């Protein structure tokens, strides 16, 4: 008697034609990964002269100077041209622009195509996750995210890089996973140094991406104020706990936060001033006034806006996020940086992990931070 094995799952089909909205550093890096893998990419910039310069020079000198863009990328400032005939869309403009971007593309986006968010944040006014904003404005599209520890320049230069592609799995996706947007987009992105993982926990992935920027500002503030590795490790670890609690409260999974989009991205962003969030915190910690940071240049620092939206959301769902609250109080509440971080460190002793209820009423410890003592 011969045993009949079920046929192996068929392989997913990559998307052949994609649109990237946002020709900043990360949009251009993702377009580069896709085009390097042989896919056709329309890269949208809101400035016609910028799109024309990218096409003329094969370089995005404004954001990734010195990186030669592969064949297959066509820049355009016309949304209809960018979206015509596309099979999948990546949105890579700052989170604060997302709702307006969705409204602008609503009349011209091809029906039902998957939309992957590569921006990170929570909407300020509503406290919605970015995927919820997209679903609000563009119903009928699978919505997911690409997120992880991915500095744009390194990604564009094809350094080994890993990221998570997350879409909620529908019933149909479970029946034929090879047709799921997560599997298809992951395969489309996969190649060279870029290694995607797939997830169905979009909430967990999005929470990680939004919170890590706020915690990175905290790390920067403390490093700018003269503290070093112990402090960074403490903030990273306790920051992961804040992510876990928020992810879980919103219906995501705690384990997701230990992955690339949570702990991975937090570690990257808190480890170097290549991160704009870390860098802003560092400058503020050194005592540089906000208007003078980045030499007065207007730089996208998602954690600055998201310090407000993340803490508002956390308060609404009853999750304590003391690090994010501290950053919020310094950036937006007029709190003194040294006093705010001293208060953070002087909170009553808690259990770790937080979920363990030791039912102890600890008094606040006699803690004080010695700012100004350099190592």
Ligand X SMILES: NC(=O)C1=CN([C@@H]2O[C@H](COP(=O)(O)OP(=O)(O)OC[C@H]3O[C@@H](n4cnc5c(N)ncnc54)[C@H](OP(=O)(O)O)[C@@H]3O)[C@@H](O)[C@H]2O)C=CC1
Ligand Y SMILES: O=C(CO)COP(=O)(O)O
15 is in an annotated binding site: no
Distance CA 246, CA 12 (A): 33
- Going across the sheet that includes 88-91, the strands are 73-76, 40-44, 17-21, 88-91, 115-117, 143-147, 161-166, 194-199
Specify the long-range contacts of residues 366-373, CB closer than 8 Å, at least 24 apart. 367/342, 368/342, 369/338, 369/341, 369/342, 369/345, 371/225, 371/226, 371/338, 372/226, 373/226
4 is in an annotated binding site: no
Is 92 a binding residue for ligand X by CB under 6 A? The answer is yes
Give the nearest distance from C-beta 160 to ligand X in angstroms: 16
Kindly write out the interface string for residues 189-218 of this chain, putting x where it contacts ligand Y by CB under 6 A and - elsewhere. ------------------------x--x--
Q: Which of 258, 300, 335, 345 binds ligand X (CB under 6 A)?
A: 300
Q: Tell me the number of residues near ligand X by CB under 6 A.
A: 24
Nearer to ligand X, 119 or 236 (CB): 119
| Segment lying near ligand Y (by CB under 6 A), choices 98-106, 144-152, 245-253, 360-368 | 144-152
Phi and psi of 88, rounded to 5°?
A: -155, 150
Nearer to ligand X, 146 or 187 (CB): 146
Is 277 a binding residue for ligand Y by CB under 6 A? The answer is yes
Give the nearest distance from C-beta 256 to ligand Y in angstroms: 16
Kindly write out the interface string for residues 94-133 of this chain, putting x where it contacts ligand Y by CB under 6 A and - elsewhere. --------------------------x-------------
For residue 299, give the DSSP letter: -
345 is in an annotated binding site: no
Is 150 a binding residue for ligand Y by CB under 6 A? The answer is yes
Distance CA 281, CA 271 (A): 12
Pair of tokens at residue 291: 């208007």
Phi and psi of 155, rounded to 5°?
A: -65, -45
Which residues have C-beta within 8 Å of that of residue 190, sequence separation ≥ 6?
37, 196
| Segment lying near ligand X (by CB under 6 A), choices 65-73, 144-152, 242-250, 310-318 | 144-152
Is 36 a binding residue for ligand Y by CB under 6 A? The answer is no
340 is in an annotated binding site: no
Closest CA to 282 of 348, 230, 225: 225
Give the nearest distance from C-beta 171 to ligand Y in angstroms: 32
Distance CA 144, CA 167 (A): 4
- Distance from the first to the final alpha carbon of the chain: 75
The answer to whether the peptide bond before residue 342 is cis (omega within 30 degrees of 0) is: no
Is 149 a binding residue for ligand Y by CB under 6 A? The answer is yes
Is 268 a binding residue for ligand Y by CB under 6 A? The answer is yes
Distance CA 242, CA 126 (A): 20
Is 239 a binding residue for ligand Y by CB under 6 A? The answer is no
> Interaction with ligand Y in 62-81: which residues (CB under 6 A)?
none
Which of helix, strand or coil describes residue 352?
coil
Distance CA 16, CA 38 (A): 8
Q: Which of 50, 232, 276, 282 binds ligand Y (CB under 6 A)?
A: 276
Distance CA 292, CA 312 (A): 27
244 is catalytic: no
Nearer to ligand Y, 299 or 364 (CB): 299
Q: Which of 15, 43, 63, 284 binds ligand X (CB under 6 A)?
A: 63
For strand 143-147 and strand 161-166, is the pairing parallel, antiparallel, or unpaired? antiparallel
Binding site listing for NADPH = 25-26, 46-47, 63, 120, 152, 276, 300, 302
Q: Which residues are catalytic?
A: 212
Annotated binding residues for sn-glycerol 3-phosphate:
120, 148, 150, 212, 265, 275-277
Interface residues with ligand X (CB under 6 A)?
22-27, 45-47, 62-63, 92-95, 97, 118-120, 150-152, 300, 302
């Amino acid at each position: 008697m011969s045993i009949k094995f079920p046929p192996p799952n068929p392989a997913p089909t990559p998307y052949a034609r994609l649109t990237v909205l946002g020709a900043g550093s990360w949009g251009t890096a993702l377009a580069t990964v896709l085009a390097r893998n042989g896919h056709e990419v329309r890269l949208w910039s809101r400035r016609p002269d910028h799109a024309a310069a990218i096409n003329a020079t094969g370089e995005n000198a404004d954001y990734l100077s010195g990186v030669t863009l592969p064949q297959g990328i066509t820049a355009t400032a016309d949304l209809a041209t960018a979206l015509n005939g596309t099979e999948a869309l990546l949105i890579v403009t700052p989170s604060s622009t997302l709702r307006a971007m969705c409204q602008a593309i609503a009349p011209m986006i091809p029906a039902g195509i998957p939309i992957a968010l590569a921006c990170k944040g929570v909407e300020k006014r509503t406290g919605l996750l970015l995927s919820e904003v997209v679903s609000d404005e563009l119903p009928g599209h699978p919505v997911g995210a690409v997120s992880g520890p991915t500095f744009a320049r390194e990604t564009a230069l094809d350094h080994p890089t890993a990221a998570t592609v997350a879409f909620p799995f529908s019933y149909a996706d479970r029946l034929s996973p090879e047709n799921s947007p997560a599997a298809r987009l992951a395969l489309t992105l996969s190649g060279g140094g870029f290694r995607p993982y797939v997830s169905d926990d979009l909430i967990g992935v999005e929470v990680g991406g939004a919170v890590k920027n706020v915690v990175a500002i905290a790390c920067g503030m403390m490093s700018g104020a003269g503290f070093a590795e112990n402090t960074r490790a403490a903030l990273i670890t306790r920051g992961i706990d804040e992510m876990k609690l928020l992810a879980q409260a919103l219906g995501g999974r705690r384990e997701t936060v230990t992955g690339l989009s949570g702990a991975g991205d937090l570690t990257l962003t808190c480890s170097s001033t290549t991160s704009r969030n870390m860098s802003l915190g560092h400058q503020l910690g050194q005592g540089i006034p906000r208007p003078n940071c980045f030499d007065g240049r207007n730089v996208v620092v998602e954690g600055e806006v998201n310090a407000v939206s993340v803490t508002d959301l956390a308060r609404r769902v009853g999750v304590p996020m003391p690090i994010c609250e501290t950053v919020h109080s310094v950036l937006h509440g007029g709190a003194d940086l040294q006093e705010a971080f001293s208060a953070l460190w002087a909170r009553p002793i808690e259990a770790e992990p937080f979920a363990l209820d030791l039912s102890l009423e600890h008094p606040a410890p006699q803690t004080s931070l010695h700012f100004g003592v350099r190592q």
